Chain A
Amino acid sequence: MKINRKSSRTPFVAAVLIVAVLSLGAVFWYFSASGSKMSDTPNTINYDPPTKQDKKEAEDNKKELAKDTASSDKPKDSTSTQTIQVAVSDATQYGDVVEVRAFIPEVIESDGSCTAIFTLNDNRLEKKVAAFIEATTTQCRPIDVPVSEFSQSGTWNLVVKYNSAYSRGESSIRKVEVR
């Protein structure tokens, strides 16, 4: 009986193992294929239920909304101005023009203006442009200064100032190479 039982079990176990190996191979192939598809094709859509992280972000957003209990509905007090920082995202000479790009983070206003002030020794050059509302910031119109307007080549200091009814401030000093 013992022998018989053993002999009848061996082919079954072997078959199960073969099936297991093949199944594992198939599973591995499936996930490998879907993995490579994921990385190569941008249109692989994840229809899985929301993760805990997805739900947590929704709750966090609700908390942020609930915090908004005072500031956003009322116009700002125009009798006092807030001090802001100006970000300069580029100040470089391209061809014959020095191009300056700047914006004001965390401020969204339509009435401001930006002034780029270049200085080198006793030389000074100013360019003023209007600011405009962007999706989440206030941006300065591009400030393009022809190289011909610089009195000399060299390394100029640049500061961009912003001024509006509610806000004023300036950027840190940035070096601009004028050739």
Chain B
Amino acid sequence: MSEQAVQEVALRVALERAIARQSDGYDQRARQYAGQLVGTKLDKTQIRGLETLASTTDKVSDITDWLKLRVGRDSGRDRWAKEGIGRDLVNELEGLRNDAKKIAQGLGQGDPDLERQVHLRLCREFLKHLAAHFEYLKAERER
């Protein structure tokens, strides 16, 4: 294995570790959102839809656009627009950019797109926690 290849692997490992560490730190906040979301008329299909979108898209903007559209269309204010939950979530996800910036800077990598890609990964992690908590809390509530 060449030295460059070894460096690439080391960087990848460091990146995965940093993302995993950050992800663990999101668990409680995601649980709070899930707690609010179970108080809306949203069901698990919609939350899963958001999680699936996040895990398949290559753009952070696709995730926030999706949420913005749902907030905009919720004229009954009993789903994504209820008590500002959708708006808070948009801000939360956009705010993860700061964490992504720190991780990218910490790795001292020259890739100009790294911060954006880390941001996307962090959004996926956050929404993964949120979807899991939502399903759990929803099931508890329906029991």
Whether chain B is bound by chain A comes out as: no
Name A residues whose Cβ lies closer than 8 Å to a Cβ of B. none
